[in-house]
Amino acid sequence: MAPGSASVKLLVRVPLTGRGEGNVMKEADPITDAARHALGFLSLEETIALASCGVTVPDPHSVLVSPGVALGPGVVLWPNVILQISVEGGLAIGAGSTLFPGTRIVASGGLVTVGSGVEIGEEGGFTIKAEPGDMIEIGDGARLLGGGSLARSNRIGRGAQIIGPIRCQDCHLGDGATYRDPEPDRRGGVLKGSGVARRVEVPQGHVIQAFGLFADGVMRRQSYFHPKPER
């Protein structure tokens, strides 16, 4: 993995055998499981068994995970999450990351690497799709929310954010601290608003807010939107 890429450690890879292990639910709907396997996903029993790897799945009936997905300990998969590998793609989710309802990540011949402590899909879900030749890297502590999407190759740096229904293609957001850092200009690069961002680069501490084409948007320091109160 290239320097500065998303850090994924202590991963547990979902087995490719097609059968779960452990003392988990032994009876499942055979029609549902047949449909899951036909579409390339784990059975319900196998999805429940992810708990033995340290993965939290509150509603396994609504979650679809392909065999071969690498999941770090402490990952949380909320309802209606889809993690799919096809055409020899690769997909890894780092430790402690949370995927909120409506998150869909598809490695359709490409590579998707999600770092540790990442938040994806709050407030409307999020879609990530990597096709053959694509590499999508999401750094530790990044936050993607509000119904946006990533397609083609993107690098979303450590602590970077995409806020809103933004279609991102070939974008690069710089590394920085997370949104919890009290100093806005130390945070990772940010896109906020709605529209399309193609080949946009935002360095640490900066943000582009736009409603349309982000390439035409104005880049500002993040402190512009988060001024310190006067004493």
Q: What's the maximum distance between 2 C-alpha atoms anywhere in the chain?
A: 66
Q: Report the pLDDT value the prediction gives residue 14, as an integer from 0 to 100.
A: 59
Domain segments of the chain as ranges: 1-156, 164-231
Question: Bridge-partner residues for 77, per DSSP?
Answer: 99
Residue 176 has pLDDT above 90, yes or no: yes
Task: Tell me which amino acid residue 18 is.
Answer: G
| pTM across the whole model | 0.87
Neighbours of 58 (CB within 10 A): 10
CA distances from 95 to 70, 153, 170 (A): 10, 23, 25
For tokens 């890879």, the residue is 13
- pLDDT for 44-88, tens place per residue? 999 999 999 999 999 999 999 999 999 999 999 999 999 999 878
Q: State both tokens at 189.
A: 């690069």
| β-pair type (161-163, 12-13) | unpaired
- Residue 87: its pLDDT value, please? 79
* Residue at 125: amino acid letter: G
> Does the structure show a pLDDT above 60 at 25?
no
Give 92-137 pLDDT, tens digit per residue: 999 999 999 999 999 999 999 999 999 999 999 999 999 999 999 9
Q: Are 134 and 113 in contact (CB under 8 A)?
A: no
